[in-house]
Amino acid sequence: MSADLIPNKAFFDTYNEAVLILSDKQQLIYINPAFTYLTGFGLQHPFEMEALAELLKPGAFEADGLFKNRAFISFSKKDGALLKAKVSESDITLADQSKGKFYTINLLPGLDVLAKGEKKFYELADASPALIFLQDENEQAFYFNKAWLTYTGKTLQQQQNLLWKSLIHPDDVRVLEELAPTAAKRKSYSFEFRLKKFDGAYRNIFAISTPVILEDGSFAGYMSSGLDITEVKEAQNQISQLNHALKQSTEELDQFTYVTSHDLQEPLRMITGYIQLIQKNIERGNLASINEFMAFVIDGASRMQMLIGDLLQLSRVTRKTVPFAPVNINDIIHVALTHVSKAVTASKAEIAYENLPTVNGDTYQLVSLFENLLDNALKFNTLQTVPKIVISASEKDDKYIFQIKDNGIGIDNKFHKRIFAIFQRLHTQAEFEGTGIGLAVCKKIVERHGGEIWVESEPGKGSSFYFSIKK
């Protein structure tokens, strides 16, 4: 046992970390001055040194599990105070070519303080389901717990320093950059980012970072822990979507109730008015005009019937739904035309369409959509012109855009939005019969198919109704 065996002894003698060297027979052969300074013990204290060598026996380092070449030991200093230390083990070839072991005991003040609870911390962190990592004061990550490594499918070496950032979604790197000023102030912060899981999918992580402040008040880095909140986020999104839909449908319902009661009263008023007249005339024995008055009653009743029928059609759009299936629009138009055949024959209308695409949708509703638009294109025409209707389709991004173009009376720009609301009509019954529900039905159907409906038109120049449908 001799100090002559120690290579680079002069270097170790001046090294400011505690260094121990054990021979291949597990005997302590060197202790540097830094070690003596830290513990008060030197080689002249064989009893204590034997106890220490015992702590460093093979196996201690494997047992740590986290770092193969690191272990945590505690032993008493000469003044009796308990010393906890982090020991790193390396191989060393001694001057006689035998193999020894070389240990450094971390004397850094920060680690010395951290060491008090460090092993417990790593045990706890590894048992935690949260994704935990530690960064030093220079932002270099040096520890990731088991949950993180399992989650990402990476090894510690593949994550250390700044490597872990390569798993962050490129769009979220900015999130971390924006936190830099807060981090520079050594404050706690929370953040959300997408992290690539071992299966390659990005998941949402919510994380909290807290600064590690040592007992002497100095800053030693950040400790961060995160949780996968993807499911929570999805549920939240769903709830807010549902809330939005609920709000919209409540508003629609309010408007609907208001206009329905208002518009249904109109024919009812007519019916009651004429019935009162008929009653008075019967009382007076004047039966001459009764037939004429009855005609108004019947007219009012059939108008009421028409309104209720159209309202039912509107409510069916959301109530009676069938799963979407591929439907060819040429076939849809073919069916819709049979429903408006009377008006087509009467007006001798020319209707052109060909090579229209197949979309995913509700057959019944798509027929109803085209039927309403064709019905209007045939109806809102002067008697002098033969209606000419062209149906075509184009593609834009992930949507098909359909166009139903007519040569009818056209619509003033200021009514282009309003006509899609329920009961909004621009004409009297005498001019053009209708309930003002048709386009509201069209709008609902198109929206159910993930699209929009709009019109381009000028008075006297015909109208083009457009709607989009998701491919």
Q: Which residue lies nearer to ligand ADP by CB, 159 or 372?
A: 372
Q: Rounded distance, CA 298 to CA 55, Å? A: 106
Q: Which residue lies nearer to ligand ADP by CB, 77 or 427?
A: 427
Q: Amino acid identity of 193?
A: F
Q: Which residue lies nearer to ligand ADP by CB, 17 or 375?
A: 375
User: Which class for 206: exposed (0-12), middle (13-18), buried (19 or more C-beta within 10 A)?
Assistant: middle
Q: Which of 427, 431, 452, 458 binds ligand ADP (CB under 6 A)?
A: 427
Judged by CB under 6 A, the chain residues 431 through 460 that form the site for ligand ADP are: 434-440
Told to check if 419 binds ligand ADP by CB under 6 A, we report: yes
Nearest one of 331, 453, 471 to 394, comparing CA atoms: 471
* Residue the block writes with tokens 């087509």: 344
Angle, CA 63 vertex, CA 61 and CA 69 arms, to 5°: 25
Nearest one of 448, 465, 401 to 248, comparing CA atoms: 448
Write the binding mask 344 to 373 for ligand ADP: x where contact by CB under 6 A, - elsewhere.
----------------------------x-
Judged by CB under 6 A, the chain residues 226 through 285 that form the site for ligand ADP are: none
Q: Which residue lies nearer to ligand ADP by CB, 324 or 432?
A: 432
Q: Which residue lies nearer to ligand ADP by CB, 76 or 424?
A: 424
Tokens (6 digits) for 121 = 């911390």
Options 235-243, 333-341, 384-392, 419-427: segment touching ligand ADP (CB under 6 A) = 419-427
Told to check if 411 binds ligand ADP by CB under 6 A, we report: yes
Q: How far is the CB of 174 from ligand ADP (least distance, A)?
A: 48
Tokens (6 digits) for 220 = 């030693």
Whether the CB-CB separation of 435 and 310 falls below 8 Å is answered with yes
Q: How far is the CB of 421 from ligand ADP (least distance, A)?
A: 8
Q: How far is the CB of 406 from ligand ADP (least distance, A)?
A: 5
Q: How far is the CB of 307 from ligand ADP (least distance, A)?
A: 10
Q: Which of 125, 329, 377, 445 binds ligand ADP (CB under 6 A)?
A: 377
Long-range contacts of the stretch 202-209 (C-beta < 8 A, 24+): 202/169, 203/228, 203/230, 204/228, 204/229, 204/230, 204/233, 205/131, 205/229, 207/131, 209/179, 209/183
Nearest one of 417, 416, 317, 406 to 367, comparing CA atoms: 317
Told to check if 409 binds ligand ADP by CB under 6 A, we report: yes
Q: How far is the CB of 422 from ligand ADP (least distance, A)?
A: 8
Options 113-121, 261-269, 327-335, 403-411: segment touching ligand ADP (CB under 6 A) = 403-411
CB atoms within 10 A of CB 116: 13
Options 116-124, 190-198, 346-354, 401-409: segment touching ligand ADP (CB under 6 A) = 401-409
Tokens (6 digits) for 18 = 């505690």
Whether the CB-CB separation of 423 and 436 falls below 8 Å is answered with yes
Binding site for ligand ADP (CB under 6 A): 372, 376-377, 380, 406, 408-409, 411, 419, 424-427, 434-440, 463
